[in-house]
Amino acid sequence: MSKQFAVIGLGRFGSSVAKTLHSMGYEVLAIDRDSGRVQDLAQILMHVIEADSTDEMALKALGIRNFDVVVVAIGEDIQASIMTTLILKEMGVKKVVVKAQNDLHGKVLEKIGADKVVYPERDMGIRLVHNLISPNILDYVELSNDYSIIEVKASKFFDGETLQSLNIRQRFGCNVMAIKRNDKYNITPSAKDVVRTGDTLVVIGHNDDLQKLEEVCVNDYEA
Ligand code: ATP
């Protein structure tokens, strides 16, 4: 049986999570205390319920304990977000993913047992800045505090070179995971594969090393 998801808080983030799960064919229970939000989403999703997630009895009645993953997407009302997380973990929900408003909120969530804390606004801000600093950086995914994956547009620096001659592993300490050309991904690039200007390279590495690679791209772009 496929995983069962519940999403609590149907603001922009929560409703996007719920709609995406639905469009991918998963069953999702969406919960909000605001009847307007519930009505809006009831047009799209099968199971949308009006309930206050700080009410333990209400959550029990919904059988929330049996869901594999519960996403808490309550933003502004930090107290409600913390109480909801605490109740869910005390009830024994296996995986609780919570959206944090700020670092302090995130720390509290981790202390009370949230299994994953996400910071969508902060992460999107970081990704945008990387793209603004270097137009050649198309995307940026933080794996941990130290490691990331970037999508970088190959500039003149790379043109006509093979992965071997570019020697990115030795020179920058990063690994090219994939090369994209004309919407086609080569996900098993070999040392002999030639890179062309305009190709997209998907590179994994330590943030310091990726930054060195980004600098080459920026300098080359401006030249
Ligand atoms: P976004 O940025 O994703 O739009 P936000 O950070 O502004 O969201 P809010 O709008 O504060 O977050 O909260 C998201 C939703 O959570 C709202 O629709 C709100 O009604 C709902 N919500 C807040 N508290 C509770 C609660 N205790 N029980 C159920 N739903 C709640």
Pocket-testing residue among 17, 56, 77, 102, ligand 1, by greatest number of atoms within 8 A of Cβ = 77
Domains 4-118 and 123-222 share a fold: no
Q: Determine the pLDDT at residue 205.
A: 95
Domain ranges for the chain, please list them: 4-118, 123-222
- Which helix (H) or strand (E) covers residue 78, if one does? helix 78-91
Q: Are the beta carbons of 156 and 197 closer than 8 angstroms?
A: yes
pTM of the complete model: 0.79
Taking CA atoms only, the protein residue closest to ligand 1 atom 11 is 76
Average pLDDT of the chain is: 91
* Sheet of strand 200-206, all strands in order from the earlier edge strand to the far edge: 137-142, 147-153, 200-206, 175-181, 184-186
pLDDT in tens, 71-118: 999 989 999 999 999 999 999 999 999 999 999 999 999 999 999 999
Residue ranges around ligand 1 (CB below 6 Å): 8-14, 31-34, 37, 52-54, 73-77, 80
Q: Determine the pLDDT at residue 220.
A: 59
pLDDT in tens, 18-52: 999 999 999 999 999 999 999 999 999 989 999 99
Q: Domain 123-222 sits in which CATH superfamily?
A: Regulator of K+ conductance, C-terminal domain (3.30.70.1450)
Q: Determine the pLDDT at residue 134.
A: 73
Could you give the 3-state DSSP secondary structure of residue 147? strand
Euclidean distance between CA atoms 24 and 157, whole angstroms: 40
Assigned CATH class of 4-118: alpha beta
Euclidean distance between CA atoms 59 and 180, whole angstroms: 46
- State which amino acid sits at residue 44: I
